[in-house]
Structure 1
Amino acid sequence: MTRGSDDAVVRSWQTDEGWGVLDCPSTPGGCWAHFSAIDAEGFRSLTVGDRVRLQWEHGDQDGYAFRAVRIQTN
């Protein structure tokens, strides 16, 4: 399975459902992200426009060709 990392921007985030989409040059079409991939303690959420460090892998997830493995906030 192909993996990579890149700087990304949060395109959308559904706080009540705990997932969203991140955009970066390495993941055309967007990268699906789940709150469990956010590298933080306690309640984990992102805000549209946040800049993050993204580790991703190829994998079909809810119509996206990429999914987040780890998300580090600044």
Structure 2
Amino acid sequence: MTDRVRGVVRLWNADEGWGVIDSPATPGGCWAFFGGAAMSGYVSFEPGDVVALEWEAPGQDGWPFRAVRFWPWGAEPVTRASGGSGAYRSTLTLTFDEPDGDR
């Protein structure tokens, strides 16, 4: 991972939750997924938004770099909660028969 740099959102696909961030440190573009957004609430950006960016190489999906974390410039990064809200839960239990000794 790198030090944070200043980046500018080139594009953001809110329906799919990903976009591209440009910075001098990431020529050609830095792919970003909403899960890397270090902010609370709904994640959405507009082209031209300025963000703090932590990135790594190699990139993803044809982009030379990948965002590790990013958030609005001037704000403090927020650690997003994981594990969901608990409103939905699902489990799966697998059981196996004992092998026959006759085979």
Preserved CA contact (<8 Å) 2:31 2:59? no
Q: Answer yes or no: is the 8 Å Cα contact 1:13–1:21 preserved in 2.
A: yes
How far residue 43 of structure 1 moved from its aligned partner, in angstroms, is 1.1
Q: Deviations over 1:17-69 (max 9, x none)?
A: 00000000000100000011111112111111100110000023000110001
Q: In structure 1, how many angstroms separate the alpha carbons of the residues matched to 2:59 and 2:16?
A: 19
Q: For residue 26 of structure 1, what is the amino acid of its counterpart?
A: A
Q: Matches of 2:8 and 2:28 in 1, distance apart? A: 13
Are 1:3 and 1:58, in contact at CA under 8 Å, matched by a contact in 2? no
Return the structure number with greater relative CO, CA threshold 8 A, min gap 6: 1
When normalised by structure 1's length, the TM-score is 0.90
Choose between structure 1 and 2: higher strand proportion.
1
**Scaled by the length of structure 2, what TM-score is found?**
0.66
**Aligned pairs for 1:1-74 within 5 A:** 3-74=2-73
Number of positions where the alignment pairs a residue of Structure 1 with one of Structure 2: 73
* Structure with greater Cα Rg: 2
> Any stretches of 5+ residues in structure 2 without a counterpart?
74-103
Q: Summarize the Cα distance change of 1:59–1:4 in structure 2 as closer, same or farther, 3 Å threshold.
A: farther
Moved over 4 A (4+): none
User: CA separation in 2, counterparts of 1:57 and 1:41?
Assistant: 23
